[in-house]
A and B are shown apart, each in its own frame.
Chain A
Amino acid sequence: EPEVTQTPSHQVTQMGQEVILRCVPISNHLYFYWYRQILGQKVEFLVSFYNNEISEKSEIFDDQFSVERPDGSNFTLKIRSTKLEDSAMYFCASSDRSGGTGELFFGEGSRLTVL
């Protein structure tokens, strides 16, 4: 069964360091997302991406965050200068349809710990 894969599964970093989280969406999907979930809290939308550009982003997705699809398979989330409050589980998701008509398929997540 096709799946979304994410690396690394866990990353520990020092405050102020740059972090890149990587995702390989399902191959025929066109819509890509990053969500985050702080421990014990709800899943929060960060950004959606379609046709090589950001289609929507939330207030959380400030100038410290960026996304890229550097090749035909990877979808990355970069945090330029990490803060303690960036510690969370980051989920990548993909969908084959827009506007909420399609199922979101999530990766297993990348746990980021900022010290």
Chain B
Amino acid sequence: RKEVEQDPGPFNVPEGATVAFNCTYSNSASQSFFWYRQDCRKEPKLLMSVYSSGNEDGRFTAQLNRASQYISLLIRDSKLSDSATYLCVVNRGTGNQFYFGTGTSLTVIP
């Protein structure tokens, strides 16, 4: 079973829409969770860390469900500039190895 699984999409949404991405992880001992954004042929960049209580950063909300081993990212009021691939990243906490999902592709359409 893959360490991190994501729906690859693509998600094509109109500007202003709300879109949600999901991610599951296989190792129940995982400690740290992140969403990274990757633009085409660019390096990944941290979008936000995901905390147990859930957290919000502007239009972005991240949720963690440890019981279901599930992480989500909600983007409200989508902008054209949100078009990118969103990577779910998990760290077991026992080492320095970060596990990346395959990414979910988002295109926001005018």
Binding site for B on A (CB under 8 A): 31, 33, 35, 41-45, 48, 50, 55-56, 58, 89, 91, 95, 98-101, 103-104, 106-109
Contact = CB atoms under 8 A, between A and B. Distances in A.
Interface residues of B, number: 27
A99 B101 contact: no
Contact of B93 (A35, A42, A99, A106): A99
Interface of B: 31-32, 34, 36, 38, 41-46, 49, 87, 89, 91-103
A28 to B, nearest CB: 17
Nearest to A44: B100
Given A42-B103, A50-B96, A104-B46, 18 more contacts: A42-B87, A42-B101, A43-B87, A45-B99, A45-B100, A48-B97, A56-B96, A58-B97, A98-B96, A99-B32, A99-B94, A99-B95, A100-B31, A103-B46, A106-B43, A106-B44, A108-B43, A109-B43
A34 to B, nearest CB: 12
Contact of A31 (B43, B96, B101, B102): B96
A86 B53 CA distance: 41
B103 to A, nearest CB: 6
